[in-house]
Amino acid sequence: MSVGTEVAIKPKLDLAEPPMFKVIYINDNKTTMQFVVESLVNHFRYAEDTAGRIAQIIHEEGAAVAAILPFELAEQKGTEVTVEARQQGYPLQIRIEREG
Q: What is the pLDDT of residue 7?
A: 73
Taking only the tens of pLDDT, the chain with its 100 residues reads: 556 777 777 777 777 888 999 999 999 999 999 999 999 999 999 999 999 999 999 999 999 999 999 999 999 999 999 999 999 999 999 999 999 8
DSSP 62-83: SEEEEEEEEHHHHHHHHHHHHH
* CA torsion through residues 95, 85, 27, 24, sign: negative
Domain ranges for the chain: 20-98
The partner residues of 95 in beta bridges, in order of sequence, read: 24
- C-alpha 47/C-alpha 85 separation (Å) is 20
Sign of the C-alpha dihedral computed for residues 58, 62, 68 and 69 taken in this order: positive
Per the document, the length of the chain is: 100
| 20-98 CATH choice from 3.40.50.2300, 3.40.50.300, 3.30.1390.10, 3.10.110.10 | 3.30.1390.10
pTM: 0.83
State residue 49's pLDDT score.
98
